[in-house]
Structure 1
Amino acid sequence: MLLMFTILFMPFSFIITKLQIPLSPFHIGLPISNIGKETRNLYKKGSVGRPNFAAVNTQKTDKMKTRQLGASGLSVSELGLGCMGLSHGYGPATNENEAITLIRHAYELGITFFDTAEVYGQGANEQLVGKALHHVRDKVIIATKFGFNNGRNTDGLDSRPERIRQVAENSLRYLKTDYIDLFYQHRVDPNVPVEDVAGTVKELIAEGKVKHFGMSEASVQSIRRAHAIQPVAALQSEYSMFWREPEKEIIPLLDELGIGFVPFSPLGKGFLTGKMTAATEFDPTDWRNIMPRFSKENREANQTIVELVTKIASQQNATPAQIALAWLLAQKPWIAPIPGTTKLSRLAENIGSVTITLSNDDLANIDEALADIRLQGERYPASLAGLQGR
């Protein structure tokens, strides 16, 4: 009786904290009117805030393992979450409450590696990640990026030491943290020697504000030069069945230097999910509208690779997206892809990829089939192509 009486008169927040009751969006103050239908369907009436994961396929998500990003000692979940699309690049920003719910579900399902950047909505995406994860900060790895002027990817590059420090301070505030786990140079700035960039991040590491240094879409030469000043923990660049260019020079270099690889767009910006056709209409603010590879003609021409992935998926009792991710995970043990999504069902689907094992024969057959496919369209328009591989 005494125990029951005590519990009845405890503050609600104390009960939640001590008894570790999982919170629904409703219990964390998210208005039900602002929570999307898909999110609401995860919560049955009278469920005491416990998500109804029967609404989506989350089988075997307890199988998520960790991976070491090269020789850095940085351990991350084998699959991360790219958060960019929640507020930047792929149409209107996701409702903040729904985005926070999705990020928290990713954590609950085993993802501990979250990727953001200052230019994803001029700090909005970092703030989103900070709000979603500040209560589990010591249990997650958060990566963010510097390198653009004014926090906008339309205003040119700026990796001057003073700008790097300014971005670091902003990111620490937005992310509600006192350290950044992985701080990438978003794009190499031709006007600032990479040695100066690496040296500045090295100082931030010594100050305890940053744990690890990363680079993104950098060339072999730039990676070597920066690594000689401050070891590069990870490189983030595009890599998937839809874009295999890193296999020529980048992956061998990373293997040599002990640098981890974090592929962005591991699903080919959605193309490898099998849900995109020539008839697909993008939102006017979706940046795929300006990418040659995503013109209607090239989407039609490139359906061959979708057909291949779909065929393999049917043989493996999986989805095309799961096969595309499983293929990436099988390439190297120090690769950790960061697929993004705005949908809880897609999140669960992507996480399901970690349970799929492709045999050596499977991988050889896939490589042989991919070698016969000639993909059409450049990855970026000329105005953006120059930012890559410097």
Structure 2
Amino acid sequence: MEYRDLGRTGWRISAVSFGAWAIGGDVWGRTDDAESLRALHRAVDLGVNFVDTADVYGDGHSERLVGRLRRERREEIIVATKAGRRLNPHVAAGYDRANLTAFVERSLANLGCDAIDLLQLHCPPGEVYEMPEVFGILDDLVTAGKLRFYGVSVERVQEAVRAAEYPNVQSVQIIFNMFRLRPAEEFFPVARARQVGILARVPLASGLLSGKYRADTEFAPTDHRTFNRRGEAFDVGETFSGVDYARGLEAVEALRPLVPNGATMAQLALRWILMHPEVTATIPGARDAAQVEGNVHALDLAPLSAQTMARVGEVYDQYLREAVHPRW
């Protein structure tokens, strides 16, 4: 396992970590808790020491599974969770002291701990980034011992840049993968200058970059890849990274010749992300131990060549830039 510095926290976290959205069992189809726990334990066995979850993943179910993992292991496991999306309506005015404190207390109970390692605002409305009082509330929660550190999860590059201006933001979680190149162009230099950690989420574009899907692949009715392709439930960028499914399949086929012998498309996609030194960790999801092993073994791939990196950019320009780049 490779470990990288997370912001200015002093933590070194696993470059391939564990994203716990899918095990929440709400918008990824059916899950099995026993299988999910085996996946979590296998991740720790392989050196993963960072897990990312949220209070809305399965209405707290994901947090409770992660809390159980920590009770069952002796290793240090750093847990990041998120707050804000429980608001209904989800508006900037809801990011007040009472609501944020209540969200934190609920997550503390779900996780079974006294302090949250890293709390992230969960893709808040854009206006929140212009509300310094919100970040002041987070500072107060750190002082009170409820949080160790905090960061943000964002939808758009401009939000990441603005969030990084707040002095105590330690990390920014942002969609970054071979279908989303804009963060590297506009945000990564800012993060490097301010020593802000980057958590690359949706690294496999909701599975498109696994190379396993076809035009006739069907997903469960409760899976967001069925019901959110046009953003009916939440930001369309969360589903297949906002890429049109058919167009995404074409891009995958253009990328497939880059996969090294003995590797998978998913491993290539993860290794590509980690070629960017500004990225602290990528947080692919996994619902079973085999998926965990496949993700972690992306680190076994040799560094990608300059030609491979350039070809990824060419595929992006040809198939995706016009539709994706201006939006996020």
Q: Give the equivalent residue in structure 2 for 1:237.
A: 174
| Residue 308 (structure 1) shift | 3.4
What stretches of structure 2 of length at least 5 have no aligned partner? 231-238
The separation in 2 between residues aligned to 1:301 and 1:226, in whole angstroms, is 32
The separation in 1 between residues aligned to 2:163 and 2:6, in whole angstroms, is 17
| Residue 360 (structure 1) shift | 4.0
Letter matched to residue 269 of structure 2: A
1:278-320 alpha-carbon deviations (Å, 9 max, x no partner) = 10111111112222476xx94333323212332111x343110
The 8 Å contact of residues 157 and 183 in structure 2, kept in 1 or not, is answered as no
Q: Give the equivalent residue in structure 2 for 1:145.
A: 82
Tell me if 1:335 matches 2:280.
Answer: yes
Q: 1:309 is matched with which residue: 239, 255, 258? A: 255
Tell me if 1:358 matches 2:284.
Answer: no
Q: Give the equivalent residue in structure 2 for 1:5.
A: none
* Larger CA deviation: 335-344 vs 184-193: 184-193
| Residue 341 (structure 1) shift | 1.7
The separation in 2 between residues aligned to 1:367 and 1:98, in whole angstroms, is 34
Letter matched to residue 346 of structure 1: Q
Identity %: 29
| Residue 135 (structure 1) shift | 3.4
Q: Give the equivalent residue in structure 2 for 1:282.
A: 219
Q: Using a 3 Å threshold, how does the CA distance of structure 1 residues 283 and 231 change in structure 2: closer, same or farther?
A: same
Higher RCO (Cα < 8 Å, 6 or more apart)? 2
Q: Give the equivalent residue in structure 2 for 1:188.
A: 124
Letter matched to residue 124 of structure 2: V
Letter matched to residue 24 of structure 2: S
Q: Give the equivalent residue in structure 1 for 2:11.
A: 74
| Residue 224 (structure 1) shift | 5.8
Normalised to the residue count of structure 2, the TM-score between the two structures is 0.86
Q: Give the equivalent residue in structure 2 for 1:318.
A: 263
| Residue 251 (structure 1) shift | 1.8
Q: Give the equivalent residue in structure 1 for 2:192.
A: 255
Q: 1:83 is matched with which residue: 12, 20, 31? A: 20
| Residue 375 (structure 1) shift | 2.6
User: Between Structure 1 and Structure 2, how many residues are aligned?
Assistant: 314
The 8 Å contact of residues 116 and 144 in structure 1, kept in 2 or not, is answered as yes
1:158-190 alpha-carbon deviations (Å, 9 max, x no partner) = 321211111111111100111111110002235
Q: Give the equivalent residue in structure 2 for 1:129.
A: 66
Q: Using a 3 Å threshold, how does the CA distance of structure 1 residues 371 and 116 change in structure 2: closer, same or farther?
A: closer
Q: Name the SS for the 1:345 alignment partner.
A: helix
The 8 Å contact of residues 72 and 258 in structure 1, kept in 2 or not, is answered as no
The separation in 2 between residues aligned to 1:309 and 1:169, in whole angstroms, is 45
The separation in 2 between residues aligned to 1:222 and 1:375, in whole angstroms, is 21
Q: Name the SS for the 1:248 alignment partner.
A: helix
Q: Name the SS for the 2:206 alignment partner.
A: coil
Q: Using a 3 Å threshold, how does the CA distance of structure 1 residues 221 and 200 change in structure 2: closer, same or farther?
A: farther
Q: Give the equivalent residue in structure 1 for 2:246.
A: 300
Q: Name the SS for the 1:336 alignment partner.
A: strand
Q: Name the SS for the 1:128 alignment partner.
A: helix
The separation in 1 between residues aligned to 2:214 and 2:269, in whole angstroms, is 17
Q: Give the equivalent residue in structure 2 for 1:156.
A: 90
Q: Give the equivalent residue in structure 2 for 1:167.
A: 103
Q: Using a 3 Å threshold, how does the CA distance of structure 1 residues 328 and 161 change in structure 2: closer, same or farther?
A: same
The separation in 2 between residues aligned to 1:95 and 1:300, in whole angstroms, is 30
* Larger CA deviation: 365-374 vs 344-353: 365-374
Q: Name the SS for the 2:73 alignment partner.
A: helix
Normalised to the residue count of structure 1, the TM-score between the two structures is 0.73
| Residue 363 (structure 1) shift | 4.1
| Residue 245 (structure 1) shift | 2.4
Q: Give the equivalent residue in structure 1 for 2:229.
A: 291
Specify the structure having the higher radius of gyration (Cα). 1
The 8 Å contact of residues 272 and 309 in structure 1, kept in 2 or not, is answered as no
1:222-279 alpha-carbon deviations (Å, 9 max, x no partner) = 5566555542111111110022221232222212211111011101110011111110
| Residue 191 (structure 1) shift | 5.8
The separation in 1 between residues aligned to 2:202 and 2:164, in whole angstroms, is 25
The separation in 2 between residues aligned to 1:77 and 1:218, in whole angstroms, is 23
Q: Using a 3 Å threshold, how does the CA distance of structure 1 residues 90 and 310 change in structure 2: closer, same or farther?
A: farther
Q: Name the SS for the 1:214 alignment partner.
A: strand
The 8 Å contact of residues 134 and 175 in structure 1, kept in 2 or not, is answered as no
| Residue 323 (structure 1) shift | 0.4
1:323-368 alpha-carbon deviations (Å, 9 max, x no partner) = 0000000112543100002122121111100111224424444345
Q: Give the equivalent residue in structure 2 for 1:370.
A: 315
The separation in 1 between residues aligned to 2:68 and 2:6, in whole angstroms, is 26
Q: Using a 3 Å threshold, how does the CA distance of structure 1 residues 146 and 137 change in structure 2: closer, same or farther?
A: farther
Letter matched to residue 124 of structure 1: H
The 8 Å contact of residues 5 and 11 in structure 2, kept in 1 or not, is answered as yes
Q: Using a 3 Å threshold, how does the CA distance of structure 1 residues 310 and 218 change in structure 2: closer, same or farther?
A: closer
